[in-house]
A and B are shown apart, each in its own frame.
Chain A
């Protein structure tokens, strides 16, 4: 793909002005790092607050074509459409709640992982906020539109900017600009009107830290970004550190740790399969998913600490203590906060227990590794006390 074919975001010029090293990612020209480099950006986010341009992702709204005006009935109607495609409980979402779920194929393989939210406001029911991955968004949107037929319409919002602010100081920073955002607990979202622009703020992210993801109209994006960066607690963070942060947080990356052959159970994402949906077996691939959750499973996603030696990256083979190859690394690298190499990969369930001694084969040489529970770095999400 030539540079000319790469898409830009409303913040591309801002990244270039900041000295961002631009690389192709998911069809977009995106900053992989800024002049300080991945290591410093990563550690800054864990200690302060990082601002990330994630506008390459696919935010959208799925809205009923004809609403009844009964908020609960309208939510059920729109949820029923989405539930044809995903294994999560969309119907049971509370107003203002966001949920991580999976788009599945008929074999129970993961087409994408995504976020689905139910609006907070009573007058906005019958709509879902749906955020999918960059590299898969065109296919996902086509799938959702097909499921919706004439009953609902999909409104793409990927021409807007999606800005993530992550880290222990994210709430202080965002609270100064959008005080309403502080009402949100982890995995909640709301619309916020500011200076004539409608923003959508969610308390979510992909770093394991407290933080927000804020959907901003393109025209206001640069001003919002610059206002964030004017705060000395905030630095711009590129995709390189975004990747090392999410790896340490134990979060799978679609296209690497998840693909159409991996099922939710294999991917150790059983929490994303709704109990009600499992009982009713009313989602694509439900039979396979149910059997696997019952124990008939060929492989599982695990975390590995590499004990000395080079980082094991995507594609490296995983061997058991006897040296027999039993699996493969799907993403791995150096974990700056862990202070050593870490990896995720798939192995048969017999090898999935934490504490197990394994080997990772890097450039033909076996290195010692140990199966560890994920996340590698504890999550620090902001959970509101149940009312």
Chain B
């Protein structure tokens, strides 16, 4: 699993990347009440807006950690947004993407680096 400074995670299997938000992000957001996910087929560049996650208090953007095309949105978090709080780094994933450039994944933080980054916040 790789991580961004915006608290997204990405896990790659072949050329498919699963993307979600980290436990830290889910905890900071508080109770998630709605997740606005992109439709399959949407092409995004790394750093562009990918989804919107809504807590009781506010809406927050989720950015694409890597470039690619959305192939699947997680219907479970759309149906049961609380899944994002319960299991953010597992069944609370947001989308699966077909990645354009594997090197973009390599450039992201690994877990020790992300944890070191969290320690600076």
Residues of A within 8 A of B (CB): 32-33, 37-40, 42, 240, 243-244, 309-311, 313, 333-334, 336, 341, 363
- List CB contacts (< 8 Å) of B57-91 with chain A: 57-59
Contact of B54 among A240, A311, A336 (CB under 8 A): A311
| Least Cβ–Cβ distance between A37 and chain B, in angstroms | 5
The interface residues of chain B lying within 8 Å CB-to-CB of A309 are 34
Contacts of B54 in A (CB 8 A): 310-311, 334
> Is A310's CB under 8 angstroms from B56's CB?
no
Give the docked Cα–Cα distance between A32 and B29 (Å): 12
Least CB distance from B79 to A in Å reads: 12
Which of A310, A333, A363 touches B57 (beta carbons < 8 Å)?
A333
- B52 contacts A by Cβ under 8 Å: yes
Contacting residues, chain B, for A334 (C-beta < 8 A): 33-34, 54, 56
Main secondary structure of the interface of B (DSSP, over half): strand
Name the residue in B30, B34, B57, B58 with the highest tally of chain A Cβ atoms < 10 Å from its Cβ: B57
Does B11 belong to the interface (CB within 8 Å)? no
In whole angstroms, what is the CA distance A325 to B59 when docked? Answer: 22
Please, what's the 1-or-0 string for B17-41, where 1 marks a CB less than 8 Å from any CB in chain A? 0000000000000110110100000
Q: In the assembled complex, how far is the CB of residue B88 from the closest CB belonging to chain A, in whole angstroms? A: 14
Q: Are A363 and B36 neighbours in the complex by a CB distance under 8 Å?
A: yes
Minimal Cβ-Cβ distance residue in B for A240 = B57
Query: In the complex, A244→B57 CA distance in Å?
Result: 8
Q: Are B59 and A313 in contact (CB under 8 A)?
A: yes
- Interface CB pairs A-B, < 8 A, 27: A33-B57, A38-B30, A38-B31, A38-B55, A38-B56, A39-B30, A39-B33, A39-B56, A240-B30, A240-B56, A243-B57, A244-B56, A309-B34, A310-B34, A310-B36, A310-B52, A310-B54, A310-B59, A311-B59, A313-B58, A313-B59, A333-B56, A334-B33, A334-B34, A334-B54, A341-B33, A341-B34
Q: How many A-B residue pairs have CB under 8 A?
A: 44
Nearest CB to that of A310 among chain B residues?
B34
Q: Are B31's CB and A37's CB within 8 A?
A: yes
The residue of chain B having its C-beta at the shortest distance from the C-beta of A37 within the complex is B30
CB distance from B80 to the nearest CB of A (A): 13
Bound Cα distance A40, B31 (Å): 9
Q: Which residue of B lies closest to A335 (CB)?
A: B56
Taking the nearest CB of chain A, how far is it from the CB of B81, in angstroms? 10
Q: Nearest Cβ distance between residue B48 and chain A, in whole angstroms?
A: 14
Residues on B with C-beta less than 8 A from A333 are: 56-57
Q: Are A311 and B33 in contact (CB under 8 A)?
A: yes
Across-interface contacts of A38 in B (CB, < 8 A)? 30-31, 55-57
Q: Is the CB of B36 within 8 A of A336?
A: no
How many Å from the CB of A51 to the closest CB on chain B?
A: 19
Q: How far is the CA of A244 from the CA of B56 in the complex (A)?
A: 8
Please name all residues of chain A whose beta carbon is closer than 8 Å to the beta carbon of B57 when the two chains form the complex. 32-33, 38, 240, 243, 333
Instruction: Give which listed residue, A32, A39, A243, contacts B31 with CB less than 8 A.
Output: A39
The smallest beta-carbon distance between B57 and chain A, in angstroms, is 5
In the bound assembly, the distance between CA atoms of A240 and B33 in angstroms comes to 14
CB-CB under 8 A from B33, the residues of chain A are 39, 311, 334, 341
Chain B residue, CB-CB nearest to A334 = B33
CB of B119 to closest CB in A, whole Å = 19
Q: Do B56 and A363 touch across chains, with their CB atoms under 8 A apart?
A: no
| 10 interchain residue pairs of minimum CB distance | A39-B31, A334-B33, A38-B56, A37-B30, A310-B34, A334-B56, A240-B57, A37-B31, A310-B36, A310-B54
CB distance from A42 to the nearest CB of B (A): 7
